[in-house]
Amino acid sequence: MARHAVITGGAGFIGSHLVDRLMGEGGWNVTVVDNFDPFYDRAVKEENIRPHLDDRRFRLIEADILDDDLEGRIERTGSGPIDRIVHIAAKAGVRPSIADPVGYHRVNVTGTLKLLELARRQRVAHFVLASSSSVYGEDPNVPWKEREIGLVPISPYAATKIAAEEFARVHARLHALRVTILRFFTVYGPRQRPDLAIHKFYQCIRDGRPIQQYGDGSTRRDYTYIDDIINGVRSAMDREAGGVCEVYNLGNSGTVMLRELIAAIEGTMGRRALIEVMPEQPGDVPQTYADVRKAERDLGFVPGTPLRSGLQRFQDWMSRPVQARG
Burial group, residue 69, by CB count within 10 angstroms (0-12, 13-18, 19+):
exposed
Residue closest to 18 by CA, chosen among 170, 265, 184, 252: 184
Euclidean distance between CA atoms 20 and 72, whole angstroms: 25
Cβ contact 170:237 at 8 Å: no
Cβ contact 242:295 at 8 Å: no
* Three-class secondary structure assignment of 123-172: CCCEEEEEEEHHHHCCCCCCCECCCCCCCCCCCHHHHHHHHHHHHHHHHH
Helix (H) or strand (E) run with residue 13 in it: helix 13-25
Q: How many CB atoms lie within 10 A of CB 227?
A: 17
Q: What are phi and psi of 169, to 5 degrees?
A: -65, -40
Considering only CA atoms, give the Rg of the chain. Answer: 19
**What is the β-pairing status of strands 28-34 and 58-62?**
parallel
Cβ contact 5:86 at 8 Å: yes
Residues recognised as catalytic? 157
Cβ contact 113:167 at 8 Å: yes
Cβ contact 82:122 at 8 Å: yes
257: alpha, beta or left? (left if phi > 0; alpha if psi -120 to 50)? beta
Euclidean distance between CA atoms 247 and 70, whole angstroms: 27
Residue closest to 285 by CA, chosen among 181, 144, 78: 144
